[in-house]
Structures are given as structure tokens and as C-alpha cells.
Amino acid sequence: MIRKLDEIIEAVKAKGKRRLVAAYANDSHTIGAASMAMDLGIVEATLVGDEQTIKDVCAKEGIDVNKFKIVQEANEQAAANKAVELINAGEGDILMKGLCSTDKYMRAILNKEKGLMPAGKPVLSHVTVFDVPAYHKLLITSDVAVIPAPDFKQKVAITNYVINTARTLGIENPKVAMIAPTEQMSVGIPSCVDAALIAAMANRGQIKALVDGPLALDVAIDKESATIKKLKGEVAGDADCLVWPNIEAGNVFYKSCTKFAKAELAAMVVGAKVPCVLSSRGDSTKTKMYSIALAALSCK
């Protein structure tokens, strides 16, 4: 079981190098993260973007530009499209967002003819793994960036995505908390109803994990709060995974953890043909490197 983000690096090394393709990789954080991941021996990297800009960034940051394969494309959307094209051509195992905006990145992935979506109607979602100093293990959380208000079918898919990521990190039977404003069952609060139904599905073997809900955040991650509120069960106070009711709840948690709690994290989009690194353009080089490592570990 992997308990710290640093441990992902060694786990990836045991699997062998993966091939990373970065879309519109014109910024120091993306290039620095790709360079760091290469130096650690976990990926080979192709940078799609403006070649001169990439060379200038490398010179400024003291990075050997010759370690990368560079594909010239100065236009933001065209660079995202080209990166996806390279993945579909078998030239990469992981897609990464560079300086392009999230909407352009997602547009390239979701393109019906040339994108990265598998056949059928898969749900594309987002998973974040947090290393929070105040918590005793890694915390895997659901979508903070892709689906604004997931319906019930999407919530089931999202729940399975966090479970799969937990298993990738060596957690055989993940403890999943379905987060709502209260741990009391209130039929007037949709998130409570959905949480209770998904927990019931797990109890009947339709979802392969320990799932409890509805649970308020405090009782999901704090044993003392769970004890005071007389909550029993294996998930309360010791969750591995948190599934948010909507993007607002998840996004506020994400930014609270990074800005107030100084958490490190790794994040990726799941549900596409390959793992797709999606971190904020303002995220650190280290966060992006951890995200590359998580995606590499998740490759089939």
C-alpha cells in the first residue's frame, strides 16, 4: 500500500518507462515536470508546442532541450489536437496538459472522430490523490474539474474510478465515503439520497469496495468526530476515498488543501483511452511531476 506520493515513483520504476505527450508545452512548470520525470527514469517525453519558446524556457531553466522530442505547433488548440493524434498513433501512453486551457484540452480529448474516447458512452471524470500533512495516509477524491453536477449514473462511474485508483495505489479494499452536508439520511437533500443508494449498491456487491454514506466530511476523515456522533463502521474516520456531490464541493476542498493545508497532490482525467494529466496551470512543477507518476502507474 502506497502511503506517500513519493512512493509512487518507485512503484512506477518497477513497471518500466512510459511515453508522455504534453500538449502545448510552452511553460516552465510543464517542461520542468516532464524533465524531472525523465530524470527519475519513469517516462520519455514528447513536447508539442512552439519549438523556439520551448528552447527558450529550457535555456532559462537550465534544462537540456535535447532530451525531449519536440513537435512544432504554435497554436494552442492545434497543439492539443496534435498531442491527441500522437497518442492515437501509438506514440504515447500518457497525455498531459501544458499551457493550454482546460476547455481546449478537453475538446481535443472529447472530439468524436479524432479524440481519445473509447467506444460506447464512457464517463470522463477526474481523480485527485492528496498527500495532506494532517491526514495519516493518501486521500483519493472524485471529480473537481470535469463534471459540474454528476447525475446518478455518473456518480456510480465516478465512485468506481476512485476505487480503481485506490487499488492502483495498493489498497485492496478501499474505504469510500459518499460526502453530503450531513451524515443523517435526509430525503430533501439529493446528495444524501444518492449517497445512500450507492452505499446500498456496495452492500449488495454491485460495487466492490467498502462504501458508506451519506457522510459529512468531518466524520469521514476524523475518528474523534465519528465517535462523538456515534457513527460506527469501517469507513467513518478512516476513509481512503471521498466522492463529492458536485464540482463546487470538490474544487473548494482541492484548493483549501493546497493553499491552507499545504498538501501535495497528483491529478488525472480517467475514462479516456489513456490516463490524461490535468492539473491547474498554476500548479507547481512538483504537483505536475507527481501527476505524471500517477498516470504512469495507472497505465495498463
- Quick one: 59 and 78 in the same domain? yes
Place of cell 519549438: 51
Q: Please give the Cα distance from 119 to 24 (Å, whole number).
A: 27
83 CB-near residues (< 8 Å, 6+ apart):
21, 22, 23, 24, 48, 92, 95, 96, 108
Tell me which residue has cell 494532517.
Answer: 134
Q: Are residues 82 and 142 in the same domain?
A: no
H/E run at residue 125 = strand 125-131
224 and 244 fall within a common domain: yes
Same domain, 100 and 130: no
Amino acid sitting at position 5: L
Total residue length of the chain: 300
**In this structure, what CATH number is given to the domain that contains residue 82?**
3.40.50.10950
Q: Find, among 220, 240, 238, 219, the residue nearest to 228 by Cα.
A: 219
Q: Is the pTM of this model over 0.75?
A: yes
Please indicate, yes or no, if residue 237 is contained in any of the structural domains: yes
110 and 35 inside one domain? yes
Average pLDDT over residues 260-270: 94
246 and 137 within one domain:
yes
Among 36-50, 108-122, 124-138, 271-285, the range scoring the smallest mean pLDDT is 271-285
Same-domain pairing of 104 and 129:
no
> How many angstroms separate the first and last alpha carbons of the chain?
19
**186 and 84 fall within a common domain:** no
Supply the mean pLDDT for the chain.
95
pLDDT for the residue 275: 96
Has residue 23 been placed in a domain? yes
For residue 72, give its domain range.
6-117+272-298
Task: Note the Cα 110 to chain centre separation in Å.
Answer: 17
Residue 209, all three cell numbers: 469496495
pLDDT of 280 > 80? The answer is no
Report d(CA 227, CA 129) in Å as an integer: 26
Average of per-residue pLDDT across 62-88: 97
Look at the chain and report how many structural domains it folds into: 2
The answer to whether residue 136 sits within a structural domain is: yes
Same domain? For 134 and 111 the reply is no
C-alpha cell at 213: 454514506
297: cell is: 502507474
Distance CA 108, CA 34 (A): 21
Q: Does residue 196 belong to any structural domain of this protein?
A: yes
Q: Is 265 part of a structural domain of the chain?
A: no
pLDDT at 274: 96
pLDDT at 143: 94
**Residues 75 and 188 occupy one common structural domain:** no
DSSP state, 118?
P
Report whether 83 contacts 22 (CB < 8 A): yes
Q: Can you list the alpha helix ranges (DSSP code H) found in the chain? A: 6-15, 28-39, 51-61, 76-88, 102-110, 152-168, 190-203, 217-221, 223-228, 247-259, 285-298
Q: Is the pLDDT of residue 281 over 70?
A: no
DSSP 238: -
pLDDT score at 283: 75
Q: Which percentage of the chain shows pLDDT scores above 70?
A: 99
Indicate whether 159 and 57 sit together in one domain.
no
Amino acid sitting at position 207: I
CB of 72 within 8 A of CB of 254?
no
Assigned domain for 36 exists: yes
Residue 277 host element (H or E): strand 276-277
Q: Is residue 35 part of a domain?
A: yes
Is 266 within a domain?
Answer: no
For residue 259, pLDDT over 80 is answered with: yes
CATH number at residue 159: 3.40.718.10
Claim to verify: residue 42 and residue 72 sit in the same structural domain: yes
pLDDT digit string, tens, across residues 99-141: 999 899 999 999 999 999 998 878 999 999 999 999 999 999 9
Quick one: pLDDT band at residue 210, thresholds 50, 70, 90?
A: very high
